[in-house]
A and B are shown apart, each in its own frame.
Chain A
Amino acid sequence: MSPDESDLENNRTDQPGQELVLSKAVVASPVHGLGAEVLLRGDIKIFPNSPLPHLDLGVSRAFVAESRMGAKAVAYICADHVVPRIDVAHKYANMAVHSLPKLIGSGVVDWPIDHREKYVFVYEQSFGSPLSHGSPLSHLRGSLSLGLKLDFVLNTIFHNTVEGLAMLHERGIAHGHVNLANIYDGGTPTLENSCLGDCLSLPSGFAQPVLYETVERALCDPLAKPNLDYADDLYALGMCLALAIAPHDFTEGMSSEEIIQYKIEQGSFHLVTSRDRLPGAIIEVLRGLLSDDVATRWTMSDLKEWQGGRRVSAKQGGRSIPKSTRPIEFRKKKFFRPDILALQLRKEPTAVLELIESGNLYLWLNRSLQNKDYEVRFEKAVDQAKKSMSGSNYAERMAAFVAMALAPQFPIFYRGFAFAPENFGNLLVDAMCAGKDVNALADVFQGGLVSFWAECRGLTGYPVSDEVSKFEACRMLLLQKSAGFGIERCVYFLAPYARCLSDKLKRYYIRSARDLIVALDHAAGEKSRPAWFVDRHIIAFLFVNDKSVIEPHSSDINATEKYRQISGIIKIFAKIQEREKIAALPHLAIWVAEHVNELINRYHDRERRKQIKSDIDRVKAKGNLIYFAGLFGNYQHTLDDQKGFSQAMAQHKALKDEYNYLHLQLSTNKEFGKANGQQVATIVSAVIASAVIMIYLFVNLSFS
């Protein structure tokens, strides 16, 4: 045993059979023989052949990297189906505290392993090994108690984590992945440099084990947990503290469902103290941090006060869930609490109808629970569900509404999904990426499911996010079938930081109009380029992310006429190229040029058509789509062409009429030209007669 390891071993409480879980895998540096490198922004090197599996966070994979100064670093490659926290990356990047890994870069790289672009976050290498090896991805288990000495934990892990969280919270960032598998030893077994791991590459709380989450968050699908709050980090911190000092794993043998149920029935604090007696010095801090009611949970200032030596007692009060005097039986199980019954209802929606129609549930609420608020909400829920009675999902809908009435603090349970409306967009993104049927998710927008959830929460005093109003907007978007609306628009509307999920551009990580046009340029240069430039996803993506670019031309790109579609495309691309000051898009210009015949043919004048064709052939290789837009966007040219054509038509008609008349005269009128001949004859006759008379007079007068 090395001196360092013995140092750490000395800080453990006596636990036979308990394994020290600090990884040794990282001792062997994988930097040797790194192989080919991928560059982020030209100077940060990432080595795809050197994974760091012990640093993986959920579906985010860690790889060896090297900073621009040549220092060791870790790159987290984001998975395709999740939305990383790009929105807070810029705030995180400015922080410099040793208990948080320093973010040295983020962006898109062309990832050779998957042959597609990936979003990546690169941190300075200060991680070391994770404190616990419980798989963060596993929602059944994610914890292993460490059994370390209290003082040691408080002076190292706890101190550093609090410092890191305080810094994050000051900057307006909640971490979301505070757990022992994502707290690292900092490279020293003494844990004095312990630090928090990555919190940006995944949606907040995506890989957070159930144990570290509050009940409300733990019940949600990992992608659609409620918006993260500082209080959630502090709850997770309390759980980390308990696990770090607990000699035994207090969740041993429990499934995630059992953990949640235990927390609901007994409380989180009761769970951590259920097996071992924890030191009295931290009982209050654990009680404060692990309070299941966010209103009574300790805040960072409470924690700082406690660290400063002041006595801070756990807050009292909070919401209490009523308990009935007599149980209600549902599927041969007896329930005393409405919230636990709500959890059961979602599992068997078909049996819910029977329970409600028999009147047993109403009687139980009325006579046993004797809580008027529950009764009112229940009646409203049943009424609301009956509005969509004709739908095929009536039972599921009824179960969802009744569950909301019984447990307004819980997420929405509907058709196998459990979600908070705030991050419902992440579920849509995941379903779209996986090519799943999104009808079940789209069904959420109908029938007032979310508005009823908000109403129930409002009535019971739980916070309601503003995001809820977006669902009504989504319902309206679904009513319109044209591109730019529908479920695709809902995806980007509810998950504004999602990349563009178009099948045409699967290889590319597109976050903006600029990314889009550059990706299209790359795609245009490939042999397997798509048949058309945009699809419903690209249009919806632009509508949400760059409305000013696409909105004026939306009627064109949705038109059935091909010439209008290509006209709209050219104008949109040109606008982006001009605004983003992109010098050249040669492949895209050539691709566009192949489709402009439809547009050229909208000029009547064949001379102009030839002129435009030759102009396009001349400039297409230069990649200037702004020039293309100028060629086709000149209203005066169009007007002149139209005017010229009208005049030509009139001329053609006049000629035709003349021809018909002349032809008819020549073929049928035998006297044609006779009148002219007679006129000439009259003149000739007049001239001769005049001449005869004049000569006669002249002769007579001369000789008389």
Chain B
Amino acid sequence: MAQKSSPSKSKKKGLRGRLLLAGLLLTSLVILPTTVLFFIGMLPAIIGRFVDHSRLKQRTLTVAFMNFAAVFPFWYKMVTTDHNFEQTVNILTEPMNIVIMYGGALLGYMIDWGVSGIVSSMVVQKGQNRLRKIKELQSELVDRWGEEVSGEIPLDAQGFPLKQD
């Protein structure tokens, strides 16, 4: 039954995905000025998505958050004034605006580099401490239960070292 149900599930999933994609495409066409603004403005994040091969795409997210924060004021200005394609072109053709938008992405990259470096060195230090702690715990176990608790010497059925003749 399980084998039968799994292809139908994936079919459903595929169908839903296509419907969502179609909906999104339709929406992006309806709000084409916004779509273009975000596509051009968040180009570093989009490129980062394809460059980032990590499983969770954390770096892409980090860059994307900051990139979005940089694009957001221009989009807000557009939707609160004239939401048309001309306005979009005006925003995107202003170099300073592009610098601001891509600067946000750059800041995101910097946060990723800085914070992950600090945190990973902290994790390595914690790992070193854990290694020491493990040795201590093992030593305590050997003190109380003998060398045979390590499982590194041959034992009889009752768990006592076999006598070597």
Contacts and interface: CB of A to CB of B under 8 A. Distances in A.
Contact of B127 (A607, A662, A678, A679): A662
A376 B53 CA distance: 107
Contact of A648 (B56, B124, B131, B145): B145
A655 B123 contact: no
Contact of A678 (B69, B116, B141, B149): B116
Interface stretch (B26-34, B36-44, B60-68): B60-68
A681 B149 contact: no
B123 A659 contact: no
Interface stretch (A290-298, A464-472, A598-606): A598-606
- A interface secondary structure, majority: helix
Nearest to A697: B76
A646 B108 CA distance: 52
A673 B72 contact: no
Given A688-B111, A693-B69, A693-B72, A648 B141 contact: yes
Contact of A659 (B61, B118, B134): B134
B130 interface: yes
A658 B132 CA distance: 12
B73 interface: yes
Given A681-B111, A682-B58, A673 B123 contact: yes
Contacts of B158: 602, 642
A696 to B, nearest CB: 5
A649 B69 contact: no
A696 B100 CA distance: 14
Given A649-B151, A649-B159, A685-B61, A606 B143 contact: yes
B144 interface: yes
Interface in A647-666: 648-649, 651-653, 655-656, 658-659, 662-663, 665-666
A665 B127 contact: yes
Nearest to A563: B160
B107 to A, nearest CB: 8
Contact of B131 (A662, A674, A681, A682): A662
B138 A652 contact: yes
B23 interface: no
A677 interface: yes
B112 A678 contact: yes
B17 interface: no
Interface in B108-138: 108, 111-112, 114-124, 127-128, 130-131, 134-135, 137-138
B146 interface: yes
- B interface secondary structure, majority: helix
Nearest to A653: B151
A389 interface: no
B150 interface: yes
Contact of A680 (B70, B116, B145): B116
Interface string B71-83: 0110010000000
A685 B123 contact: no
Contacts of A702: none
A655 B141 CA distance: 11
Contacts, number: 150
B54 interface: yes
A678 B130 contact: no
A689 B131 contact: no
A582 interface: no
A601 to B, nearest CB: 8
A686 B59 CA distance: 12
Nearest to A704: B80
Contacts of B69: 688-690, 692-693
A675 B131 contact: no
Interface in A590-612: 601-602, 604-607
Nearest to B122: A673
A473 interface: no
A700 B76 contact: yes
A666 B62 contact: no
A604 B150 CA distance: 13
B62 A681 contact: yes
A662 B130 contact: yes
Q: Give the interface centre of B65, B68, B146 by most chain A CB atoms within 10 Å.
A: B65
A462 interface: no
Contacts of A666: 124, 127-128, 131
B65 A682 contact: yes
A684 interface: yes
Contacts of A692: 69-70, 72
Given A656-B134, A677-B117, A690-B69, 18 more contacts: A604-B159, A606-B145, A645-B145, A649-B159, A652-B150, A662-B130, A662-B134, A672-B123, A672-B124, A673-B123, A676-B116, A680-B115, A681-B59, A684-B111, A685-B62, A689-B68, A696-B72, A697-B76
Interface of A: 601-602, 604-607, 642, 644-646, 648-649, 651-653, 655-656, 658-659, 662-663, 665-666, 671-682, 684-686, 688-690, 692-693, 696-697, 700
10 contacts: A604-B149, A644-B145, A645-B145, A648-B149, A652-B151, A662-B134, A671-B120, A685-B62, A686-B61, A696-B76
Interface of B: 54, 56, 58-59, 61-63, 65-66, 68-70, 72-73, 76, 108, 111-112, 114-124, 127-128, 130-131, 134-135, 137-138, 141-146, 148-151, 158-160
Interface pairs A-B: 8 shortest CB-CB: A677-B116, A673-B123, A673-B120, A677-B119, A678-B58, A689-B69, A681-B115, A689-B65
